[in-house]
Structure 1
């Protein structure tokens, strides 16, 4: 039920919406998948860092060998059979000193992981937006069912009055049929409202795991905090450019594309490594039978690419085109965000005007219905006029109720489009709902 009252919401109502958020975080599969994917992508930075560390290898080999050897001598061929043990142990350390590709990979990984973090932030904002949307739709659905029931009751009463007038001879069968038709339509509308409410409750259950009806009512006087007037439209656009996670991610993806060009250009650069090897071998080949080698080496190793058939240049051109694509994607995302900010800002202003108009319309329709009903009882008004007045009043009440919830929805969408939707905004929405007594 809608109530007109002042004051903050009760602790129970605050726990209701915020509690639903906590349930959604733990229950919603899409968000949990986003968390897991982001955790997986964070490892890209660890993998990139690993390229700067030494590579250490230990090689061990031990076995037996059999060799049939034929040796040419002055007296002819001499055949011998050798059966021996062989061993080979090596320990090597390779420390990269200069590798331009590695540096580019690391820079790209940092930007990539930051982009994934921004996208996770956006997923959290999407979860809050979806939760508030389903929450408002469910509460509106409950209010719609209540209003439809009130309409059914009012039309049923009018039908009884029309039947009584007909029985007394002062009414007509047309009046009874008219009232019955309006009652049938009202019942059909109530069935549709109940079905829509069930769908909304199912959506809420999928999102949070909660299946019971919501026990909250709207504090209408608290809606004055959802005006959007705290900033002019240009300030909202600036906030969106500075804070929107998807725009931040798109900007970082451009940086990733730039680093990819550096990575591909690195194919033209030399690499320099410090290499140390400690090895021991015995009888490891036919040429070293009966010999042992214990060797320690340390050296600088440089590799200079000279020609790769145009492969590196093709990679660079390919990455340059991908950079252009990333820049265009960022531009498209920026335009989309600006469009949404303007749309919801303008819609928010329009909703405020609509609410004022609907409130006045409800007052006028209430007075009109009261006068029409009195005129009907006095014989000055027809049954059709009463039914028409009832229809206008309930339709206007429903439109006013929808406007209340649409105002909150537009404000939340404005916060989302500006990159500001967070738990603070969720708390602000919570404060205009109180638990039902």
Structure 2
């Protein structure tokens, strides 16, 4: 099974699924992105409608009536018919509420733009977490498989030593128990990797087989200054789409408040109409008539009383403005906490990765020393197994810390509104061909 994977690794540059390609595919298929894009289109139309309220409106009305008229003493019925065609044009001259209505619609449109940007950032963050979880689960499986093979070899060695009288029966049983436990861990790691692949396939809108042939380079870690949290907070204050949404919501609420207040103001419209009518007579005339009427006028409307509904709308708009202001404060607080947490998580994972790298090298030397000691009779088989188990744990924890550092770094950039295609290209440049037998070679080197 190793040889086909190696051959497939040689074809990696030509057939690999790059991270920018996966990100583009995931964004196209993400339902939240599609939903916010539709909301943006709707907001664009609402802005157009608000602007259109300043323009003229025209209506054509067609009326056709038929009736019968009879009078005493004969009561001879006479059929009457009349047709009328009316063209009406109205142009607002002054409607104060139209101006804040446009301002509110524009703020809502910009809010929808930022909602789309926020949903794209969240989709990219989900993809980054899914990719790194796959890498992490694959490393755990590789470590568990290598440990299972090492325990199996040590179990065989313990049985041979028991047969020649160099080991006691409890050592053989302990080695066998470790093998059974390692098999269980490997099975659990296989199930976890399968789950993570399914999650990634769902997010990326399809399977990603070529991605499994790649891995983050062992020495690749994100760069982050330990004293740079204030810079990240300042950037998030300016560039975070979620915070901009909250600010624009306050602006829209203030515009709605002005709109509600201006419902008290008078309005002035210019009206023009053209009427064409014809009939075959009336109840008082038997002569048909045809005529045209043209009229131009100005309409002044002064609101006087609306049973308190207008003032109620003003109070409602003020309450909604206060609600938007409170949500802005909440969004700012949530963003600050999120950026600080992501920053600390990234720094912590980076520190752990560096420390665990040193621990992994030290533990590898410990395994080698215990194996040498076992060969000359100084160390027991249990000592070798324990050292190998600690080496597995160190490598597993190192892999987790390295991938957690990248995941937290991507989250930090997403929260600050800085995550872009350049980040995917930078991470993709850090990927190398995955070596599925790396743990086995490391084990062989430690035992040589």
TM over 0.5: yes
- The answer to whether the 8 A contact 1:87-1:284 is kept is no
What is aligned with 1:93?
Answer: 89
Shift of 1:35: 2.0
Residue number in structure 2 paired with 1:422? 420
Which position in structure 2 is the counterpart of 1:110?
106
| Residue matched to 1:379 | 377
Distance in 1 (CA, whole Å) between partners of 2:67 and 2:157 is 113
| C-alpha displacement of 1:428 | 1.8
- Residue 438 of structure 2: aligned partner: none
Partner of 1:153: 149
Match of 1:247 in 2: 243
CA distance 1:284–1:19, change in 2 (3 Å): farther
Residue 334 of structure 2: SS of its match in structure 1? helix
Distance 2:389 2:79 in 1: 107
Contact 2:85 2:277 in 1 (8 A): yes
Kindly tell me the number of residue pairs found equivalent between the two proteins: 421
Structure 2 residue corresponding to 1:55, chosen from 48, 57, 74:
57
Whether 1:177 and 2:173 are equivalent positions in the alignment is yes
In the alignment, which residue of structure 2 is the partner of 1:137?
133
Q: Contact 2:80/2:282 (CA < 8 Å) preserved in 1?
A: no
Q: Helix, strand or coil: the match of 1:222? A: coil
Match of 2:255 among 259, 264, 274: 259
What is the deviation of 1:309? Answer: 1.7
The 2-side partners of 1:199 and 1:32 are apart by: 26
Change (3 A) 1:143 1:288: farther
Displacement of 1:27 in angstroms is 2.5
Deviation digits for residues 143-180 of structure 1 (CA, Å, limit 9, x no counterpart):
11111110111010110011101111221221111111
Give 1:294's aligned residue: 292
Within 2, Cα distance between the matches of 1:95 and 1:231? 61
Alpha-carbon shift at residue 79 of structure 1 (Å): 3.5
Would the aligned equivalents of 2:44 and 2:109 in 1 still touch at CA under 8 Å? Answer: yes
Distance between the aligned counterparts of 1:219 and 1:109, measured in 2? 49
Distance 1:117 1:335 in 2: 22
Distance 1:155 1:14 in 2: 35
Question: Is the 8 Å Cα contact of residues 36 and 112 (structure 2) preserved in structure 1?
Answer: no
The TM-score, its normalising length taken from structure 1, stands at 0.91
Moved more, 237-246 or 202-211: 202-211
Tell me which residue corresponds to 2:230.
234
In the alignment, structure 2 segments of 5+ residues that lack a partner are 3-11, 436-448
Whether 1:369 and 2:367 are equivalent positions in the alignment is yes
Superposition deviation, residue 436 in structure 1: 4.5
Name the SS for the 1:211 alignment partner.
Answer: coil
Aligned to 1:169, what secondary structure does the other structure show? Answer: coil
C-alpha distance 408-127 of structure 1, shift in aligned 2 (>3 A): same
Q: For 2:199, which of 189, 193, 203 is the aligned residue?
A: 203
Structure 1 window deviating more from structure 2 (310-319 vs 108-117): it is 310-319
**How far does the alpha carbon of each residue in 1:371-392 deviate from its partner, in whole angstroms, 9 at most, with x for none?**
1112122221122211111111
Give the CA deviation at 1:210: 2.8
Secondary structure of the equivalent of 1:79?
coil
- Cα deviation for residue 320 of structure 1 reads 0.4
TM-score when normalising by structure 2: 0.89
Identify the range of structure 1 (207-216 vs 373-382) with the bigger mean alpha-carbon deviation.
Answer: 207-216
